[in-house]
Amino acid sequence: MAVIHHTTMQPTKMELLASWLPTRDWYDGREGGPSPAKAGGFRLDDPAGEVGIEFMVVTDGAEEGAAAYLVPMTYRGAPLEGADHALIGTSEHGVLGTRWIYDGAHDPALVGQLYALLRGHAVAQDQSVNDTPDLTVSVSLTGGGAEGPGGDTELVRVTEGADHTEVVVRTSGDDTGRLALRVRRVLRAGGSDGSDGGSGLGGVTAEWTRPDGTTARGAFAVVEGVL
C-alpha cells in the first residue's frame, strides 16, 4: 500500500506542469500561458512499494470551457533508465527527498498497473486518502483482452497522438495477446457511463471537477484492441 505524505514539494507539481504542458503536442494552449489546477484523478499502488503512481487531471484556467488534461505521473527516488524524454521534472519532497517525476504513460510501472487494473488485479485508490478505494472509478474489459495469463507486464510501444497516447503492453514472455490502450490526454465528458465511442472492448472511466465546481465524467483510457 502506498503512503500519501501530506507535505511540501518544491517546485510543486503544478509549477512543473506549467512548464511541461506547453511542450506537449496535445496541449492546446491558452491566452496568458498555462494555469494548471488539480481537478481530480486517482492512484494505483506499486506492488513493489517503490514507485508512486497517480492519474492526475488538471484543468487549464478558470474560464468556462477550460480544457481538462490527463497527466499520468510516476514518482521515483532515482532516475528511470532510458526515460529522459519522459521526465516532467524533479522536486524536493518534504519527507522523501528528491523525486524524479515522469510522464507515466512512458513508465513501465504505471502501464503495468493500468493493465492490472483493467484485468481486475488492482484497485483504483483515492487520490488523497491512504488505503481507500476510489469507488467512482469504473473499469471494464471484455473479449480477448479479459483472458490470458497474469504476471509481470512488458511495455512494448508508446506512440503520442494529437489528443492521446497509445500504449501497447503484453504479459512478459507472451508474444500473443498484446493489449493496445489509448490513454486520453484531452478529456471530454461522455454519456452517463462516461463512454466516448471507444472500441467497445472496455476501458477506465472516472470523474474530474470543472472550474465552476460541477462534476464531469469521461474515459481516461480505452482498450483499442488485442494485437
Q: Where are the domains of the chain?
A: 9-226
**pLDDT of the residue at 50:** 93
pLDDT digit string, tens, across residues 189-221: 985 444 555 557 899 999 999 999 999 999 999
Amino acid at position 3, single letter: V
**Cα 189 to Cα 55: distance, rounded to the nearest angstrom:** 17
**pLDDT of the residue at 40:** 97
Can the peptide bond before residue 36 be classed as cis, meaning omega within 30 degrees of 0? Answer: no
Residues 194 and 206 sit within 8 Å (Cβ to Cβ) = yes
| Percentage, residues of the chain above pLDDT 70 | 86
User: Which residues have CB under 8 Å from 129's CB, separation 6+?
Assistant: 4
Q: Give me the residue label for grid cell 472516472.
A: 206
The set of cell numbers assigned to 59 is 484543468
pLDDT digit string, tens, across residues 81-113: 999 999 999 999 877 779 999 999 999 999 999
N-terminal to C-terminal alpha carbon distance within the chain: 32
Q: Give me the residue label for grid cell 500519501.
A: 4
